[in-house]
Amino acid sequence: MAIIERPSSEVAVVGGASVGVKPSEALGVFKRPAASTSWRDWLVTVDHKKLGIMYGVAAFFFFIVGGVEALLIRLQLIAPNGKVLNADQYNQMFTMHATTMVFLFVMPMAAAFANYFVPLQIGARDVAFPRINAFGFWCFLFGGIFLNSAWFLGGAADGGWFMYAPNSSTLFSPSHGIDFWTMGLQITGIASLTGAINLIVTILNMRAPGMKLMRMPIFTWMVLVVQFLLLFAIPVITVALFLLTFQRSFDATFFDVASGADPLLWQHLFWIFGHPEVYILILPSFGIVSEILPVFSKKPLFGYPIVAMSGAAIGFVGWGVWAHHMFASGLGPVSVTVFSMATMAIAVPTGVKIVNWVMTMWGGKLSFTVPMLFSIALVVQFTIGGLSGVTHAVAPSDTQQTDTYYIVAHFHYVLFGGAIFGLFAGFYYWWPKMFRKQLSEGIGRWNFWLMVVGMNLTFGPMHILGLQGQPRRMQVWTEARAGEGFFNLGFWNRVSSIGSLLLAVGVLLFIINVVYTHKSKKVAIAPLDPWDARTLEWMTDSPPKEHNFDTIPTINNLDEFFHRKYAQDANTHELTQVATAEEVLAEMNAHPDEHIHMPSRSYWPILLALALPIIGYGLIYNRVILAVGAAMVVLTMFGWSMEPSTSPDDDFDPPAPGDGGGHTKELAPLG
């Protein structure tokens, strides 16, 4: 891609299959890949929207994997003396369930939304570093595959997702599972780190004219906070993972108590990463519902600056609470008091947000669409999870709850009821923007209610189980020791397992909904602005063109799109619609920008990312493979650095508008 002379509207359609384009020789080793409509284009694309979809598809795949792992855990516990998994398999299952859900589903799914919508919401044509963006996606995918390949190579990691030392040493976990885990997380960590730098620079540097920080949509705000958390949290886990790798592969003694090591070192390093990580998981969903609630309440977000700043406050205070995960480890009274206080303090900005969401809905004209239902469910379920979280902040109470199912109940309420409901709200809300079709509201309601009921049935009883003392990670329970009456552990375990099946059916309905929406002829093309939305991403075509906006808009208001559609009477404050979405778009497209530079496709991101799992396998199996991988890294880095981000040639004609579907535009040679 080089220069797009005049976008859309008047350009003749270049029909049929992809038109071969001879890319000019770039300065790199390879010829620049040309635009095409084949599947190969997805391997070399640097378009943030395509990468967003790729992140989404891959993350959803891992969601299924992690979900199956969860179901196996619940099947094991549905009856006394469970025989579904043996103890070793059970250890691997809960370790990989958590690892998959945290690192391979919620984080990359948030990255999917961030990738797709942040440039659109700030009025940019792409992210700041499109090739690094592609590299980040491939690192995540290859890292995830590498991590899961352990299942077929002698067993997966089995030390729990926080992999406490010294339990993670080769003495207690002799298989290669933990080696795959450490290297896999290093690789996905690179994805997070590069993604963080990329999105921070994008948000700070590439806003449309007039898009001040305090005019940015809340989702973009939350993404910004999350990227700063990632930027500073990822290197800490990197250090911890390196130390563990050195211990397991090179006989260092960092966590070997017999040599005088302090096992708390791992706990501190892990949770200094791990607690910001909790906010990394939840804040994007907070951003999503902060977009959705105002739209379906027909009111602006209540206290926009407060919501933005409380998000930032959570980001700051989130660094000072990590040791509340370690109250039972004997930190001493001063540390425990300090971290206990800080943990209670962080509930304040979170509570502020909840109040703001409720006040947004208060007195609004609510319409209970599926995205709205999921958003309201987030507010409710997250509040329950947040309240049980406050009980952990009370150190004496937490000492009682540590390593029981009560903890499991808490973090599933905030992660499933919070983060994942937010992501599902995002699916339903933005689907028509991304794919031009609206997911079925009918199936969506079933999807929603089954997930809500299933979730509460699954995780609600865990409060009871935990307070009765059922330990977390317990592999079997026996009838003899289950207790009697209301507190019979067997009964609540059964309820929880049945709930998890309902939950699975709910998720399955989402997949059915997607298939139905795209296969059924009855589903019409969605209107341009199906929800009467407020923010900039709706002020362009659905799906957006490769260059996002024909004209980069000038921003005069928070909720710019809304203000272009509606005018407020100065005296009565009543809103009257002055333009439809189509008219707003037509007005913008009347004077399209000329000479739009779009970044060019590249082979280097996928090649560089491919070298990393090779290094991982090399470290585990054979140093020769390691050397090959390292050589690949060096060579691809040189190739990359000598390739300009945009092809220097102007050999391309304007793009055909295509058929408006999700395809790449075809490019015709100038001659």
Partner 1 sequence: MADSAIAHGHDAGHGAHVTSTGLSNNKMAMWMFLGSECLLFGGLISTYMLYKGRVNSGPQPDQIFDIPFTSVSSFVLLMSSLTMVLAVSAAQRKDDRNTNLWLTITALLGATFVGGQVYEFTAFYREGLGFTTSLFGSSFYTLTGFHGVHVTVGIIMLMALVGMISRDRIPGNKAETVELIGLYWHFVDIVWIVIFTLVYLIPT
Positions that interact with partner 1 (CB under 8 A): 27, 123-131, 193, 196-198, 200-201, 204-209, 211, 231-236, 238-240, 242-243, 246, 250-254, 259-262, 265, 269, 272, 551-554, 591, 593-597, 599, 634, 638, 641-646
Minimum separation from the CB atom of position 137 to partner 1 (A): 16
Measured from the CB atom, the residue of 18 and 238 that comes closer to partner 1 is: 238
Cα separation, 379 vs 414, whole angstroms: 10
Minimum separation from the CB atom of position 196 to partner 1 (A): 7
Measured from the CB atom, the residue of 253 and 622 that comes closer to partner 1 is: 253
Measured from the CB atom, the residue of 236 and 336 that comes closer to partner 1 is: 236
Measured from the CB atom, the residue of 406 and 640 that comes closer to partner 1 is: 640
Measured from the CB atom, the residue of 385 and 605 that comes closer to partner 1 is: 605
Minimum separation from the CB atom of position 628 to partner 1 (A): 18
Q: Which amino acid is at 395?
A: A
Are the C-beta atoms of 634 and 626 separated by less than 8 Å? no
Cα separation, 19 vs 36, whole angstroms: 7
Are the C-beta atoms of 57 and 124 separated by less than 8 Å? no
Phi-psi category of residue 31: left, alpha or beta, with phi > 0 → left and psi -120 to 50 → alpha: beta
Helices (H), ranges, 253-369: 264-297, 304-317, 333-361
Measured from the CB atom, the residue of 353 and 601 that comes closer to partner 1 is: 601
Cα separation, 69 vs 99, whole angstroms: 11
- Of 231, 260, 32, 263, nearest to 131 by C-alpha is 32
Cα separation, 393 vs 339, whole angstroms: 8
- Of 393, 369, 347, nearest to 293 by C-alpha is 369
Measured from the CB atom, the residue of 362 and 638 that comes closer to partner 1 is: 638
Cα separation, 335 vs 337, whole angstroms: 5
Cα separation, 208 vs 217, whole angstroms: 13
Measured from the CB atom, the residue of 412 and 564 that comes closer to partner 1 is: 564
Identify the H or E element spanning 412: helix 405-414
Minimum separation from the CB atom of position 552 to partner 1 (A): 4
Measured from the CB atom, the residue of 260 and 333 that comes closer to partner 1 is: 260
Q: Which amino acid is at 452?
A: V
Minimum separation from the CB atom of position 273 to partner 1 (A): 9
Measured from the CB atom, the residue of 289 and 612 that comes closer to partner 1 is: 612
Cα separation, 326 vs 4, whole angstroms: 56
Minimum separation from the CB atom of position 646 to partner 1 (A): 5
Minimum separation from the CB atom of position 149 to partner 1 (A): 27
Minimum separation from the CB atom of position 270 to partner 1 (A): 11
Minimum separation from the CB atom of position 139 to partner 1 (A): 15
Give the burial string for 28-37 (b: 16+ CB within 10 Å, else e). beeebbbbbe
Burial of 482 per CB tally in 10 Å (0-12, 13-18, 19+): middle
- Of 433, 453, 387, nearest to 292 by C-alpha is 433
Minimum separation from the CB atom of position 375 to partner 1 (A): 30
